[in-house]
Amino acid sequence: MFRRIADFVLRILFHVVFKIEINGIDHVPKQGPFIAMMNHIYFLDPVLVSALSPRLIIIMSKIENYRNPLFALIMRLYGTFPVRRGELDMSAIRTSLQVLEQGHGLLMAPEGTRSRTHTLQEGRDGMAWLALRTNVPIVPVALSGQEQMGYYLRRLRRTPLRVVFGEPFRFRPVEGAQRRTLLHHMTNEAMYRLAALLPPAYRGVYSDLEKATQRLIVSNHAEQGQLS
């Protein structure tokens, strides 16, 4: 109940503060588990994605956000859970698996931290590992413009915000010793998919889209074609 009310209030507030353009909303799976993979450039990014999504998305958030008891309570009521960055956090892994097993969306930022330059940083392999382990679809979510909110608020104007939900994809199953060595290649392919949805100025280390490959990715359309 708290989450539904909070999302309703947040959507109203976001439409007051932002001039929102949303594309690709139909790419969000109508049922079943999925990973929402976002770029992270502003502190509001996680709640922007979760509140504007048509599906329930559970947020994985850095443990530092839980230091304040009141803020931690609000975050837990909203349905978030903590993760310790820079280490193998088994508790966060177990919770992530439970979220997906329950059929929900799980929000992850493969970069591991917010980008201070507002451009894509090198992705880490945790999301690829989890997606490969669970074989759930990944929905890239590209956000741009929100980092200018302060500038527009000072001028009493709404901030242009663009949110793009990309086509879902999965990683090709990989077995044996090469599975671990291929994780980083999977991460790169996923990050290029995300970069392609962003304006060029936001693409950072993934700016050269000509380097993108899809050797380890199965797109949603290809999957449907194989089933038909």
Instruction: Choose the most confident range, by mean pLDDT, from 15-24, 87-96, 166-175.
Output: 15-24
Mean pLDDT of the chain: 92
pLDDT of residue 227: 35
- Higher per-residue confidence, 65 vs 100: 100
Angle value at C-alpha 41, between 100 and 155, nearest 5 degrees: 130
Is pLDDT at 179 greater than 90 in this prediction?
no
Where are the chain's structural domains? Answer: 2-227
**pTM (whole model) above 0.85:** yes
Candidates 170, 163, 202; CA nearest to 49 is: 163
Task: Give the pLDDT band of residue 225 (cuts 50, 70, 90).
Answer: very low
Q: Quick one: average pLDDT of 66-95?
A: 89
H-helix or E-strand spanning residue 151: helix 149-154
- Higher per-residue confidence, 148 vs 85: 148
Q: Which of 19-28, 125-134, 188-197 has the lowest mean pLDDT?
A: 125-134
pLDDT tens-digit readout, 116-166: 999 999 999 999 999 999 999 999 999 999 999 999 999 999 999 999 999
Q: Which residues pair with 142 in a beta bridge?
A: 164
Topology at the third CATH level for domain 2-227: Glycerol-3-phosphate (1)-acyltransferase (3.40.1130)
Tokens of 181: 């060595």
**Distance of alpha carbon 77 from its chain centroid, rounded?**
20
Is pLDDT at 5 greater than 50 in this prediction?
yes
Q: Are 121 and 50 in contact (CB under 8 A)?
A: no
Is pLDDT at 210 greater than 70 in this prediction?
yes
Distance (Å, rounded) from C-alpha 41 to C-alpha 35?
19
Integer angstrom CA distances of residue 139 from 68, 77, 98, 220: 31, 25, 19, 10
pLDDT of residue 191: 98
Q: Are 96 and 107 in contact (CB under 8 A)?
A: no
